[in-house]
Each structure stands twice: as C-alpha cells, then as structure tokens.
Structure 1
Amino acid sequence: MSLKKSIILIIIVLLIDQISKIYIKTNFVLGESVEVFNWFKILFIENEGAAWGTKLSDILPVSDASGKLFLTVFRLFAIVGIGYWLFDIIKKNSPKVLILAVSLIFAGALGNILDSVFYGLLFDHSNHQVATLFAEEPYGKLFYGKVVDMLYFPMIDTTWPEWVPGKGGKSFRFFEPIFNIADTAISIGVAILILFNKKAFATNPIEEEKEETN
C-alpha cells in the first residue's frame, strides 16, 4: 500500500468523521436521539475524557481541567508516534494489511484529536440548545474541546430475570457504548492487527535479503 493510498484513506475517514460530528453538533441538542432502527440510534453525547468517557480525574487526584489538558497533550504525542510508525512501515514496504490497519488507527486518532484541540474554540455549548459553528462565545478554549459521539447500538434492551442472583429485575442493555466514526476506524484497525497478526507482521523478503547481504 503506497503513501498516496494511505493519505487518501486517512482523508476519507477524516472527512466522514468531521462532517458527521459537525452535523450532529449543529443539529442536535445534547442528549437528543433519533431512532434509525430498534437496534440503532443516533444519540448525541460529548466525551470529555478517554475511552468510554473515563476522566483522568476519576483515577488521579487532579482537577477535571488539568486531566483534560493532559489527555489532549498525550493524544498529540501519541498521534506523532503513530504517524512516524505509519511513515516507517510504508517506507519499508511492509505488508499492505499492516499499513491499512495503522492508517485507520492514525485517521481515527487524528479525528478525535481535532475535537479535543479545536472544538472548544469553534462551537458554543449544546446544553438545551443547538450549537453554533464559529460561535461568538465558544464553550471552551484551545486543547479543551469535547469529543462528539453519536453512534449507539442498543441491540438488546431488556431486564435480567428475577432468578438471576444480584441482577434480577435490573435493566440489561447490549451494546451500551456510544462512539463515533473515528472510534470505529481505530477499532477496525486494531481488529485487523489482531485477526491478521501473522500476515501484518510477516518479515518482508526484500528487507530480509538486505539484512543478510549486510
């Protein structure tokens, strides 16, 4: 997979991700949902933390603001590392499946970083109102944006049978996480690495010959 094809894939993922987020942000009130199917809903939430909404302040004795800044800066360093890895494996002519997976992970990570870095400057808040793009009074500042999530798949929404110890009568929902296109790209990339691990990290015959010659 060439650098050109990798860049095209990254741009496509970023465009779909950002267009969907901007549409949701400028057309939905926070918490608003639309049922597409009984097992799929568009539900607008904002994520201030890491995966599944986890905040650093939930784990360490730091303020929400400090935790948010740390996570954003960490993501920036991470995307630089992933970008270097992608460039390196393309340069080494690594297996296409590896380049595909890393390209998807890079695109997804970059998509969420754009939210974290810039959305606080671009939008006003979404509480009880539809946000405005390029708002005169944005809800945050640089590095303090919230990630927009909207894809929700409550494929099973029921209650536990009364006879189940500790769970009887309580609600049970699968699948609960709410995510976005960027998260989907990252998940697909990671899944490819897991499922096609041997193929992705197979030794490149050309590189092997060069090493033996040296």
Structure 2
Amino acid sequence: MTFKKATFLILLILLIDQISKVYIKTHFQLGESLTVFDKFRIYFIENDGMAWGTKLSDIFPFISDRLAKLSLTLFRILAIFGIGYWLFSTLQKAGSRVLIIALSFIFSGALGNIIDSVFYGVIFDHSYAQIASFLPKEGGYDSLFHGKVVDMLYFPLWKGYLPEWIPFYGGEFFTFFEPVFNIADVAISIGFILLIFFNKKAFPVQEAGVEQSV
C-alpha cells in the first residue's frame, strides 16, 4: 500500500468523523436523541475521560479532574506520535498491507478524538439545554486541551431485567449494548480487530523469523 493511499484513507476517516461530530454538536442539545430504527439511535453525549467514561481521577483520586484531563490529552498526543512513526516506518519498508491499513485506521481514529480533546473546548460553547455555536463570540466552554469528545452512535440491542438466578446482577435492569461511541472509536476498533484476526498477515516477517529460529 502506498503512502498516498494510506494518507487518503486517514483523511477520509478523519473527515467523516469530524463532519459527524460538528453536525451533532451544532444540531443537538446534550442528551438529545433521535431514533434511526429500533436498535439504533443517534444519542448525543460528551466524554471527558477514557474508555467507558472512566476518568483518570477515578483511578488516581489524588489528581484533580482538570489535571487528569490535561494529562490524558497529552498522553494521547504522545501516543499518536508513536503510532504515526510506526505507520511511516512500515510504509517506508513496504510492510504488510494489512498492517498499514490497521495502523491507518487506528491513527485516524486516535487523531479524531484528539482533535475533540484539544480544540472543541475553544471552538464550541456548551451544549447544556442549548445547541452549541461554532466559534462563539463569547468564547468556548473551556480552554485548550480541555475539550470533551463527542459521542453519538448508540445501539441498545436489548433492554430488560436479568433473571434472578444470575449472581450479583440478578433482577437488575440491563442494557446490551450500552456504550455510546463515535466514528473515531469505530476506526480504532477496526484497526485492532484487523491486527488480532489477521495477525499472521500483518506481521509476516516476524512470523518467518520465528519459524527459521526454530
């Protein structure tokens, strides 16, 4: 896969991700939802933490929420440089097509969420009980590096009360699949799935080296 094709793939995913986020941010109030069909909804939430809504301050209680948010954003930026270097190096070495595609998905998804974290607090005002404005005159809802990630894809495939015989959670109301995510999250997931299920195609040189050593 050429550098030009990888760049096109990254830009395409990034464009779709950012267009969807800007549209949701400028057309929905926080918590507003739209049913597309029975098992799929557009549901606008914002996530200022890690995966599953976890905050770094939940793991390290001695860290303030704002410091935790800043630390997480800076860590994401460092991570994207590492992924970018890996992708660039793989392209230079004409590496596996599967590996290049997987890294392109992961890179574009990570970069999409970083854009939210770094810039959205400055370029949008808040979405509480109102539809946010792009580049508001009175300034954004927060400072640089403290933006929140926009999520909107929601697939509540099943809702109901669990059977009483299930340990710990029996009789409780349960939703499957509950997480709300975005296009960037989908891209990252696709990238990791490709690496897991097509591992031998992604790393053919490493596999050959192992076989020769044996």
Q: TM-score range by the shorter chain?
A: over 0.9
Q: Give the corresponding residue for 2:136.
A: 135
Q: What amino acid is the match of 2:10?
A: I
SS of 1:26's partner is: helix
Shift of 1:28: 0.4
1:151-207, CA deviations, whole angstroms, 9 ceiling, x for partnerless residues?
Answer: 011111111123444333311111111100000000000000000001100019xxx
CA distance in 2, matches of 1:84, 1:165: 46
Q: Give the corresponding residue for 2:151.
A: 149
Q: Residue 184 in 1 paired to residue 186 in 2?
A: yes
CA distance in 2, matches of 1:28, 1:48: 18
1:46-86, CA deviations, whole angstroms, 9 ceiling, x for partnerless residues?
Answer: 00011111111101110000000000000110000000000
Q: What amino acid is the match of 1:187?
A: S
1:115-139, CA deviations, whole angstroms, 9 ceiling, x for partnerless residues?
Answer: 0000010000000100000012310
Q: Give the corresponding residue for 2:212.
A: none
Q: Give the corresponding residue for 2:121.
A: 120
What TM-score comes out, normalization by structure 2 length? 0.93
Q: What amino acid is the match of 2:72?
A: L
What TM-score comes out, normalization by structure 1 length? 0.93
Percent identity between matched residues is 61
CA distance in 2, matches of 1:162, 1:13: 44
Q: Give the corresponding residue for 1:162.
A: 164
SS of 2:204's partner is: coil
CA distance in 2, matches of 1:183, 1:164: 31
CA distance in 1, matches of 2:14, 2:167: 46
Q: Give the corresponding residue for 1:212.
A: none
Q: What amino acid is the match of 1:74?
A: F
Q: Give the corresponding residue for 1:85.
A: 86
CA distance in 2, matches of 1:164, 1:192: 34
Q: Residue 101 in 1 paired to residue 89 in 2?
A: no
CA distance in 1, matches of 2:166, 2:53: 29
Shift of 1:112: 0.3
CA distance in 2, matches of 1:30, 1:55: 19
CA distance in 2, matches of 1:188, 1:163: 35
> Which contiguous aligned blocks of 4+ residues in structure 1 show a shift greater than 3 angstroms?
162-166
- Root-mean-square deviation over aligned CA pairs: 1.2
Shift of 1:108: 0.2
Identify unmatched segments of 5+ residues in structure 2. Answer: 210-214
**Aligned length, in residue pairs:** 205
SS of 1:149's partner is: strand
Q: Give the corresponding residue for 1:6.
A: 6
